[in-house]
Amino acid sequence: MTAKKKILFIINPISGVGRQKAIEKAISLYLDDSLYDHEIAFTQYPHHATEIAKDAAEKHYEVVVAVGGDGSANDVAAGLINTNTAMGIIPLGSGNGLAHHLKIPFSISKAIKVLNHYKPSKIDTATTNGKLFISIAGIGFDAMVADKFALQKRRGFRTYLLLVIKEFFRYKPSEYTITINDKVIKTKALLISFANSDQFGNNVSIAPKASIYDGYLDLCIIKELTTIKALRIAHKFFNKDIDSSRFVETIKFKEARVSCDEFVHSHIDGDPDEKVTDIHVRIQPKSLYILIP
């Protein structure tokens, strides 16, 4: 008889607020108990999930599941990088960009059923100034919005969209120097994204051709925009053809540096990070096992 696999669910109570009992019940109902012995852990402070995941990998758990949003997935992945333990995802966040990209269902029961198929796939990850990201990191306008969004009492796409509209009229683009593929580019930009997957979340696609399997990142520059220009290209984010706009430049790369004469906001997988004047980004090919549909 084949031994059962050990699986640990790490739940972020903030992302799954009010739903913990429902999640635990769904695990009991839909997880294949002939395949898995399961345990549940709740995070108690920022980045606690990384510690829990790392400990599980050292104890040879086959799967650790991030129950939450992109930030939760990032924390769990940080504890599993370059191990044989696979990450699963039950998406409960505001954007869930990684889950969208990997086509993981947003129904809790269906996401659990994905785990039952146990199909580990090795994906790329990346770092920005040594810090892990799986989906998208960036600097500029979107990072500033992420910083303000993190302070909002109400979450969700509507709150995020209202912030984008409000802050767009106040934001002043910065001048950047980009060293990439043995070239130096100087540009004024609203934002610069480093994309491993195609989107920020909520199907808002910044890098439609990005792949989490190809060993490359997409550097996406959105240039300075007037209000009229912004309105003209807004629909392209949802139609997944933003890269066709003349106001957007996309470059495939493995390693790049971006510098700015002033401090600018940065984000990692949608969560605000420190303000920076210099950022070093590089790919980590095939560095994380993940369970996908």
The per-residue pLDDT for 44 is 92
The H-or-E segment that residue 133 falls in is strand 131-133
The predicted model gives 93-111 an average pLDDT of 89
Task: Please check the confidence at residue 16 and state whether its pLDDT lies above 80.
Answer: no
CB 283 within 8 A of CB 252: no
Q: Where are the domains of the chain?
A: 5-118, 131-285
Return the structure tokens found at 59.
């104890």
> Which class in CATH covers the domain with range 131-285?
mainly beta
The predicted model gives 107-115 an average pLDDT of 95
**113-167 confidence digits (pLDDT tens):** 999 999 899 999 999 999 999 999 999 999 998 888 888 877 777 887 888 888 8
The per-residue pLDDT for 18 is 54
User: With the C-alpha atoms ordered 196, 200, 203, 208, is the resulting torsion angle positive or negative?
Assistant: negative
**220-244 confidence digits (pLDDT tens):** 999 988 787 787 787 788 778 888 8
CB 225 within 8 A of CB 213: no
CA atoms within 13 Å, Cβ hemisphere of 75: 23
CB 189 within 8 A of CB 159: no
Q: At residue 250, what are phi and psi to the nearest 5 degrees?
A: -125, 135
Q: How far apart are CA 233 and CA 99, in angstroms?
A: 25
The per-residue pLDDT for 237 is 80
Arithmetic mean of pLDDT over the chain? 91
CB 51 within 8 A of CB 79: yes
Domain spanning 5-118: CATH 3.40.50.10330: yes
Q: Which range scores top for mean pLDDT: 17-21, 69-73, 109-113?
A: 109-113
pTM score, whole prediction: 0.90
**161-210 confidence digits (pLDDT tens):** 888 888 888 899 999 999 999 999 999 999 999 999 998 877 788 899 99
The per-residue pLDDT for 151 is 80
The per-residue pLDDT for 95 is 77
- Cite the beta strand spans of 56-143 per DSSP E: 63-68, 86-91, 120-128, 131-133, 136-140
Task: Please check the confidence at residue 219 and state whether its pLDDT lies above 60.
Answer: yes
The per-residue pLDDT for 15 is 59
The per-residue pLDDT for 1 is 54
> Based on the number of CB atoms within 10 Å of its own CB, is 171 exposed (0-12), middle (13-18) or buried (19 or more)?
middle
CB 184 within 8 A of CB 177: yes
The per-residue pLDDT for 223 is 92
The CA-based diameter of the chain, rounded to the nearest angstrom, is 66
**255-264 confidence digits (pLDDT tens):** 999 999 999 9
The predicted model gives 30-53 an average pLDDT of 95
